[in-house]
Amino acid sequence: MEIYKKCLSTIKCSLAVVDRDGVILYCNSGFEQELSEEQGALVGRDIQGTPVYNTQMAGSFTEEWVYMQEMPKDFYVIHYMPFDIPLDFGLLTITPSDILIKSQNKAGSEPMIPKELQSIFELSFDGLFITDGQGRILMVNSSWEKLTGFSRDDVLGRRANDLVAEGKYTQSVAELVLKTGQTETIQLEITDGERTKQKILATGVPIFDANGKVWRVVANIRDMEMFSQINSLDRKQRFKSEESPQPHAESSVDKPEVIVKSQAMQHTMDMIARVAKTDATVLFSGETGVGKDVAAHMLHSLSDRSHSPYIQLNCAAIPGPLLESELFGYVSGAFTGAKRGGKMGLFEVAQGGTLLLDEIGELPLELQAKILRVLQNKEVFKVGSSKAKALDVRIIAATNRDLKRMVGENQFRADLYFRLCVMNIVVPPLRERKEEIPYLISHFLKVFNNKYGRSVALDERALSLLVQNEWVGNVRELKNLVERLVIMGDSVITPEHLPLEYQWSTVKLSTSSSLRQAKDEVEYEILRQVAGIYPSTRKIAKALGVSQSTIIRKLKYYQIMGENGRRYAQTKKEEKP
């Protein structure tokens, strides 16, 4: 280590050597000064206890990363680069951002970058660009030029919005970040030049000054043209024997449908986009029906494996004794009834691509050990064979169960859990992204109208009720409801056409409600909502499954409407009839 210290001491930038557990092994005086620490005080400390730490670091000391971090003195660019084994440590550098992003006096001039950081910026696989607080482009890298087809000489010093106005691309993530002051992710299209029709996924991150105003916008862009270039794969070419596709397993390379209109989903999509370019194992978690399989498919589509097979297996759909042969395959004569010539397992079918193990919490314990061995050794043994076959497959998993709790209850192997959970991406429930419900309904209406040859639409009142629903079954429940409405409904769906459980929104009780007050509040709210849907007391009574006389009495008591249908003020009487 001493020889490395001598070499590192000659480097002028502020740096530290960090081991794979995040412990500082060495740092130079520049690093100590930037963190206002005394000489030798940082060595042996966990990086997590310093201002340099960012959640992006967690568990990532085997991968390279670059990000901006606010520290007591200034904003800093943090760059970590791991060394190859057997050195087993990485190099961490910190640089004040005003050194990295610094324009010359005249507008449009190229930013000045230290040589040791220029290669980091230029060699990034993602396209990178930086704007000031007015949206003027300060810096772009070579990947940005390659993806957009535009030269940096043509854009530096110009406002990103002006390029949109000139028809060079459809929208600017930098301008959106300047408006919202938040991290934003959008899809855009190049509309001019040699890369016309190029699809781009862009993520912009705001950097704030001391007054809380957006000072810089740092954005990265990624190629989405791969989606339009993917052709359907012939499964027969991926099978060496004359077999049909395995049951409960799906293979697809089509572009997944993803609607992102909420901050919660934007955060999830940003994580997916960041992780996609790596081969890290990912665990998708979330409630049933939220779209974990769609998120997993998007991860595959954004990865370098997107042109290779994407296989999805539902672990809960196949009995345990059969699941092993489905995953690993078998050789001829492995067991009674085994097909002559054997069978290829899904690990081999997914070779070069991605395998999603959906509902992985349902895996039997004895099979979990074998999955762990595949993850560790990157090889697979067919049932009945002693010959290993090397694998090049990215394995990802999804579950709606609490695997950590299952580990504590000895229902799931701890070693497999930690192998799978290198990155845990949570897909938020629909109730936390209600702004997406109108867009999802519009999408599903289009899909099922085309499927069944209908032209069904929802009126605003019905749409409002559906947006207010809690959606326990999440996107799957919403999709099934829209399909039912298209099949059974008229040309325009009104609240009256909705199933009864969707005809009113959730009732919120006051915190001081007694049992009787709570009953009255619930009864009043249900009657008020249903009275706004049905034109007569007879239809209200039919919808609620009570007599018409009961409805008339209740409506009078709650002063919701009179006998002639005239509405009263929506307040309750103190006396009960």
Alpha carbon dihedral 289, 425, 297, 288, in 10-degree steps, equals -10
Those residues with Cβ within 8 angstroms of residue 545's Cβ, 6 or more apart along the chain or in another chain: none
Instruction: Give the mean model confidence (pLDDT) for residues 100-119.
Output: 45
Confidence band for 6, pLDDT divided at 50, 70 and 90: low
Q: What DSSP state is assigned to residue 475?
A: H
Tokens for 307? 């042109």
Average pLDDT of the segment spanning 108-125: 54
CA angle 502, 504, 505 (to 5 degrees): 100
Alpha helices (runs of H) in 160-286, residue ranges in sequence order:
160-165, 173-180, 226-229, 235-238, 263-276
Res 8: pLDDT: 62
What would the DSSP string read from start to end of 299-318?
A: HHHHSTTTTS-EEEEETTSS
Q: Are strands 14-19 and 24-27 parallel, antiparallel or unpaired?
A: antiparallel
- pLDDT one-digit tens code per residue, 351-388: 999 999 999 999 988 889 899 999 999 998 888 887 88
Give the pLDDT of residue 101.
Answer: 45
Better pLDDT: 559 or 242 = 559
Q: Which residues contact 236 (CB under 8 A, 6 or more apart)?
A: none
For residue 87, CA distances in Å to 66, 80, 90, 374 come to 21, 15, 8, 26
Task: Write the DSSP symbol of residue 114.
Answer: -
**Chain position carrying tokens 């050990």:** 369
Task: Give tens-digit pLDDT for 509-518.
Answer: 555 557 777 7
Region at 248 (left for phi over 0; alpha for psi -120 to 50; beta for the rest) = left
Angstrom CA distances, 257 to 160, 291, 443, stand at 28, 10, 9
pLDDT at 236: 30
81-95, 291-305, 382-396: range with lowest mean pLDDT: 81-95
Span 317-334, pLDDT tens digits = 888 768 888 898 888 766
- Please indicate whether residue 295 or residue 464 has the higher confidence score (pLDDT): 295
- How far, in whole angstroms, is CA 177 from its chain's centroid? 19
Residue 181 confidence (pLDDT) above 70: yes
pTM beyond 0.75: the answer is no
Is 252 a residue whose pLDDT tops 70?
no
Rounded to 5°, angle at Cα 486 from 484 and 489: 90
* 292-302 and 263-276 helices, crossing angle to 10°: 40
Q: Are 140 and 124 in contact (CB under 8 A)?
A: no
Confidence band for 406, pLDDT divided at 50, 70 and 90:
very high
- Judge contact between 163 and 169, C-beta under 8 A: yes
Q: Which two tokens stand for residue 122?
A: 């230029």
For the stretch 132-150, pLDDT in tens is: 888 888 888 888 888 899 9
DSSP assignment string, 376-387: HHSEEE-BT---
Radius of gyration of the chain (CA): 29
What pLDDT, on the 0 to 100 scale, is given for residue 74? 65
Q: Could you give the residue ranges of the DSSP H alpha helices within 173-262?
A: 173-180, 226-229, 235-238
**In this predicted model, what pLDDT tens digit does every residue of 482-501 receive, in sequence order?**
999 999 888 888 888 888 77
228 has a pLDDT exceeding 60: no
Joined tokens for residue 151: 């030269």
The residues that bridge with 426 in the sheet, in sequence order, are 285
Instruction: Indicate the SS3 state at residue 28.
Output: coil
Sequence-ordered list of residues with C-beta below 8 angstroms from that of 303, at least 6 positions apart, any chain: 276, 277, 354, 394
Higher pLDDT, 475 or 108: 475
Return the structure tokens found at 487.
């099949």
Q: Is 567 helix (H, G, I), strand (E, B) or coil?
A: strand
Which tokens hold the place of 315? 């672990």
Are 296 and 303 contacting, i.e. CB atoms less than 8 angstroms apart? no
Q: What is the mean pLDDT of residues 61-82?
A: 68
**Separation of alpha carbons 316 and 293, rounded Å:** 14
122 pLDDT above the threshold of 50 = yes
Residue 246: predicted pLDDT: 44
| Peptide linkage before 535 cis (omega within 30 of 0) | no
- Which residue in 383, 396, 369, 358 sits closest to 248, CA to CA? 358
State how far the Cα of 462 lies from the Cα of 255, in Å rounded to an integer: 31
Q: Residue type for 427, please?
A: V
The owner of tokens 């492995």 is 334
234: pLDDT confidence band, cut at 50, 70 and 90? very low
Q: How confident is the model at residue 427 (pLDDT cuts 50, 70, 90)?
A: very high
In the sheet where 75-82 sits, what is the strand order? 24-27, 14-19, 89-96, 75-82, 65-70
Strand partners, 79: 66, 93
pLDDT at 231: 30
- Of residues 337 and 432, more confidence is placed in 432
Contacts of 451 (CB under 8 A, 6+ apart): none
Cα 405 to Cα 410: distance, rounded to the nearest angstrom: 9
Provide the mean pLDDT of the chain.
78
pLDDT value at 272 more than 90 = yes
pLDDT of amino acid 207 = 84
* pLDDT above 60 for 203: yes
Coil, strand, or helix at residue 13? coil
User: Domains of the chain (ranges plus CATH)?
Assistant: 2-97 (3.30.450.20), 115-224 (3.30.450.20), 235-426 (3.40.50.300), 430-502 (1.10.8.60), 507-577 (1.10.10)
Q: pLDDT digit string (tens) for 437-486?
A: 998 999 999 999 999 999 999 888 888 888 888 898 999 999 999 999 99
* Cβ contact 437:466 at 8 Å: yes
Closest CA to 16 of 36, 1, 32: 32
Top pLDDT among 358 and 53 is at 358
Phi, psi (deg, nearest 5) at residue 75: -85, 140
Distance CA 156, CA 351 (A): 43
Average pLDDT over residues 541-561: 82
